[in-house]
Amino acid sequence: MTGNEFLRGRVGLVAGTIFGSAAGPACAGAAQPSGSGAATCSSSSQQNLANWPALTLRPYQLLCMVCTLGEDPTGAKAGKLKPVIEQISRNPNTAITLRCNMREVFGFQTSGADEDTPEGSEFNKKRDLEILYRLQLPPGVTLPARILVNHLLGAISTVRDICGSEGAGSEAWKGCPKADKGYYEKGREIQLSLCERSCGMDYARAYAKEKASGKGTVVLVPPRSVEELAKAKKESLAAMYRAKETGIPVKPHTLMCAVCQYGRGIRPPCPNELYTVDGNSSYPCDNLPELLELVLKDTEVRIRLVEGAPWEICGPCPGWDAATQGCVHVLGHGGLTNQLRDLRMLRILGLRFGDTVNGQELYRLIFERIPSTLSVCHFPLGAQEDAFSVWTDGCGRRPVNNPFYEKGRKELMEKTRDVLND
């Protein structure tokens, strides 16, 4: 590699020359290995709705589900919650609609009183509304189970003041007898230690889940297994190298993530468990460090900009979901902010999904046009900063340029200048 190839390039991308704009689905390319757990790649218009089976629940049933797992971590043995718990733990993408017994403006979604518990109509209405308030969600909302479960675990630490007798002025408001026994709190503690909550979580969670599963413990949003993650790292990396001439499929904004990683000091070879930077464990492996290293060394590497989270780059991530080919980190909802990041970045670069570009030229363009992460990654929520939002994530809250991106960009540009002076 030479500095002028990296910084100035040979094809004039800024002027509009692009290597072979790809036709067909944006995620077509290197075949995923059989048995890897990766789903067949498809365009966004061909998403299989079977990946999102549907359930309708009352808000209080979310609490009952966690309470049940606190009383018996192996799950319900009978009753209405048994199939609900089994469905969610089998497929956390299940779309859950929360309905409650209401009139007036939200009467369109009313559940009626059929699912009321014996504590009475007023108690049931108050309980459902208290839960929705704590979750900052409206009646009738539909969200994937992985988002609802993770948000519930974070937002509601105890049910004593929601479901129990605390503060009740009469026997008519005495509440559920299980609410004061600590079952919900115990179930929440168990699930918080085992549920997949972020792609930045280490493999210790996968180890803990496997140990718990050996005892029959139900995990509502189970992380990928240690064996699957290790196998995915090996197979997806091989697929990435195979695709270097035809175009390695990459989710656009992750090219900036690779620069942030570089600024943090992360370099391949990456271990199968944790990155270690300055003695501190960071997040689990993806294939971005290897991608950046390959681009720096090989002037012929091509990158194809795609929707979704491609196997070749994201396959080994604990926050990668095989069924939807998507990114489910940041309490399950990271994919939404990342999709907008991709589109913001494409607009700035003047590119589109499916474009296949020389890797060094593409990074030169990124460094020229995106000196700061704010134009792509920032999602300020203003006064609602602490409220639940599917637009909330750590990178989005940062009010200044990511210092790791700034450092990585500077180091990469200096690296190429050093080559020019040799």
Q: For the chain, give me the number of helices (H) and strands (E)?
A: 17, 10
State mean pLDDT over 329-339. 75
Tell the residue number behind the tokens 């199939």, with chain if given: 83
Q: Is 246 exposed, middle or buried (0-12, 13-18, 19+ CB in 10 A)?
A: middle
**Tens of pLDDT, residues 229-278:** 888 888 999 999 999 999 999 999 999 999 999 999 988 876 544 444 44
What is the reported pLDDT for 351? 98
1-38 pLDDT, tens digit per residue, is 444 443 444 333 333 333 333 333 333 333 454 444 44
In this prediction, residue 269 carries a pLDDT of: 77
* Cα dihedral: 251, 256, 257, 261 (round 10): 140
Mean pLDDT, rounded, for 329-334: 66
pLDDT higher than threshold 90 for residue 130: yes
According to the model, what pLDDT value does residue 194 have?
86
Would you mind telling me the total number of residues written for the chain in this entry?
Answer: 422
Q: Is the pLDDT of residue 89 over 70?
A: yes
Average pLDDT over residues 315-338: 79
pLDDT (average), residues 316-322: 83
pLDDT at site 321: 84
Band of the pLDDT at 169, cuts 50, 70, 90?
low
What is the average pLDDT across 210-224? 84
Alpha helix (H) residue ranges in 156-253:
160-163, 183-194, 204-214, 226-242
* 8 A C-beta contact, residue 360 and residue 1: yes
Q: What does the mean pLDDT of the chain come to?
A: 82
Q: What percent of the chain has pLDDT over 90?
A: 54
Is the pLDDT assigned to residue 225 strictly greater than 60?
yes
Percent residues over pLDDT 70 in the chain: 78
DSSP 38: P
